[in-house]
Amino acid sequence: MDTPLIPILVAPQAILKARALPVTDKHADQLRDLIPRMFAAMYHAPGIGLAAPQVGVGLRMFVVDLMPDDKPDPMVFINPEIVLQSTELATREEGCLSLPGQYADVTRPARVKLRYLDAQGAKKEIEAEDLLSACLQHEHDHLNGVLFVDHISALKRNMIWRKLAKAQREKQGAG
């Protein structure tokens, strides 16, 4: 029997604004179960990144798959830390599975270097630019209780919150 999809939380939820806790050895069994379920939810949504807080788990972990050349390339980032970021900035449109249907231009460092543990617990580093850089920074933000709308002007942020609330009311009315 298929495991039911783990639900992706929609803002505002308190865990989405909270700082996630570091993953420790005691979380090994939980992660073994959680990682495939997070990928399944992310692919189903569909999305290219999903952080543990977005599925109600307050741990410093996220998954990413940009599907280069339409082929799966799943990556797991446990206890990631940004160790380097460029002074050069890049702006691109971002959305978030926890703010469905909402998008805005976000300016971030153009390149980043992340240090993290992979799903097997091996220490890794990755340097990223373009979409991968934005995605890694976006997901890393989730671990610190930061949403992409926290990077835009108050006016634009308030417009997105109003649109999201309206969409949620309409969805509840239809359900």
Residues labelled catalytic: 139
Tell me how far apart the alpha carbons of residues 2 and 10 are, in angstroms, rounded to a whole number: 24
CB contact at 8 A, 30 and 38? no
Show Cβ contacts of residue 99 under 8 Å, excluding neighbours closer than 6 positions.
10, 11, 147, 148, 149, 160, 164
Q: Considering only CA atoms, which of 170, 90, 167, 101 is closest in space to residue 135?
A: 90
Tell me how far apart the alpha carbons of residues 103 and 131 are, in angstroms, rounded to a whole number: 15
CB contact at 8 A, 42 and 72? no
- Count Cβ atoms below 10 Å from residue 14 Cβ, excluding itself: 10
